[in-house]
């Protein structure tokens, strides 16, 4: 999750560390879970949309200023690092 943490820190340089850590942990869990990101999620547009919405909602809930920018950046990262194949 270090790469994910660095990505968020770049977008939130003045963000509170505990909020950023909480956000990263939740997003990591979201993409690792087979319930929210089953095998092949990275090729299914509807699942990617739902994951982006969850990321956006979590970022907004935690008060991150870049909650609109983070979902697409995180999706790009996740496709490379959290992809699951059958």
pLDDT number for residue 86: 81
pLDDT number for residue 53: 98
What spatial distance separates the first Cα and last Cα of the chain, rounded to whole Å?
23
pLDDT number for residue 9: 97
d(CA 62, CA 72): 18
pLDDT number for residue 25: 98
Q: Is 32 helix (H, G, I), strand (E, B) or coil?
A: helix
**Residuewise pLDDT in 10s, the chain (86 residues):** 899 999 999 999 999 999 999 999 999 999 999 999 999 999 999 999 999 999 999 999 999 999 999 999 999 999 999 999 98
């Amino acid at each position: 999750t270090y790469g994910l943490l660095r990505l968020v820190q770049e977008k939130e340089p003045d963000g509170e560390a505990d909020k950023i850590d909480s956000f990263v942990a939740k997003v990591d869990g979201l993409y690792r879970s087979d319930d929210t990101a089953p095998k092949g999620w990275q090729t299914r547009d509807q699942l990617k949309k739902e994951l982006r919405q969850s990321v956006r909602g979590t970022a907004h809930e935690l008060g991150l200023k870049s909650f609109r920018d983070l979902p697409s950046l995180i999706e790009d990262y996740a496709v490379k690092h959290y992809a699951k194949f059958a």
